[in-house]
Amino acid sequence: MHYALVVNPASGNRRGVAIAAQAADRLGSAGHVTTRIQGENAAGARDQLKHAIDTGLDGVIVVGGDGALHDVLDHVADTDLAFGLIPAGSGNDTARSLGIPVNDTDAAVDLIVAGHVRRVDLARTGEAYVATVIASGFDSKVNERANAMTWPRGNMRYNIAILTELRSFQPLEFTLTLDGERIQREAMLVAVGNGPSFGGGLRICEGASIDDGLLDVVIINPVSKAKLLRVFPMLYKGTHTTLPEFERHLVREVTLASAGIVAYGDGERLGPLPITATVQPGALRVFAPPVA
């Protein structure tokens, strides 16, 4: 088999290139051929990948996290190409949803060598596909603030952005259209989940299945600022679903609208609301363990 190996050099604390080399060696030993795709930026890598696909490939393997995956979904979704993921990012939520080992490169490669392909859903917003969660509201405002900061780096920047945003944050007016039914809510945030988690294990859409042909729309209705800070740690366990402010809908299509709010998908900026997301059942053929 001939695979494109798409590498995000910054992944894995800048160990992406070394992880990719390890993966290429293991794939080569199993009789597979790999073509390295590593651009100076995302646009350059996409151009290289398009050329490689046009010349003939059996699949595409990404070494990176959810953001790196997001950058190539439009090339592999709704095609016959098999997709492989070797986790090397800060979040790796897609890998967790699929049962791909996140701290064992050899084990992740062995899943590809084993050749078991599973079909999973994607969310589509215009021309962009999303594998994990579309976020809007408090969390997306925090992302906007964190992305505008030049210091500090890493998780501390995100934590500072949370505290800074919280000082002035007020519940937001959302208009949601759920499979044609329009509702209005004042909410802290609205998340659309193809899978259960985003942001490195924040299980905002606890219970969401990546292959049920549905999107989970989660609304966190207004809470006090103190309670919002208490709720955030609950997201790592998914226990926030017991809160009275938690609201969940299962849909095939949703439109989110809220003035001045930007949506993020797979941790990447999608653009300002309104935005419509539609489930694309079985859109991705991905190497993953068999479903138990």
Which one, of 67, 94, 66, 71, lies nearest residue 4 by Cα?
Answer: 71
| Residue found under tokens 């044609």 | 180
Chain segment 37-95, per-residue pLDDT in tens = 986 555 667 888 988 998 889 999 999 889 889 999 999 999 999 999 999 877 789 99
Please name each of the domains of the chain with its CATH number: 2-115 (3.40.50.10330), 133-281 (2.60.200.40)
Q: What pLDDT sits at residue 13?
A: 64
Chain segment 175-187, per-residue pLDDT in tens = 999 999 999 999 9
Selection from 14-28, 216-230, 276-290 with the highest mean pLDDT: 276-290
Q: What pLDDT sits at residue 41?
A: 58
Average of pLDDT values for 127-139?
94
Q: What pLDDT sits at residue 57?
A: 93
Q: What pLDDT sits at residue 132?
A: 96
Computed over every residue of the chain, the mean pLDDT equals 91
Chain segment 116-125, per-residue pLDDT in tens = 999 999 999 9
Cα separation, 70 vs 62, whole angstroms: 10
In which band, very low, low, confident or very high, does the pLDDT at 150 lie, cut at 50, 70 and 90? confident
Q: What pLDDT sits at residue 155?
A: 64
Token representation of residue 100: 């791909």
Cα separation, 232 vs 201, whole angstroms: 11
Lowest mean pLDDT segment, chosen from 14-18, 133-137, 238-242: 14-18
Q: DSSP for the chain?
A: -EEEEEE-TTHHHHTHHHHHHHHHHHHHHTT-EEEEE--SSHHHHHHHHHHHHHH--SEEEEEE-HHHHHHHHHHHTTSS-EEEEEE-SS--HHHHHHT--SS-HHHHHHHHHHT-EEEEEEEEETTEEESSEEEEEHHHHHHHHHHH--SS-THHHHHHHHHHHHHH---EEEEEEETTEEEEEEESEEEEESSS-BTTTB-TTTT--TTSS-EEEEEE----HHHHHHHHHHTTTTGGGGSTTEEEEEESEEEEE-TT-EEEETTEEEEESPEEEEEEEEEEEEE-PPP-
Proportion of the chain above pLDDT 70, given as a percent: 95
Task: Kindly tell me if the per-residue pLDDT of 142 is higher than 90.
Answer: no
In which band, very low, low, confident or very high, does the pLDDT at 269 lie, cut at 50, 70 and 90? very high
Task: Kindly tell me if the per-residue pLDDT of 219 is higher than 80.
Answer: yes
Q: What pLDDT sits at residue 232?
A: 80
Q: What pLDDT sits at residue 90?
A: 74
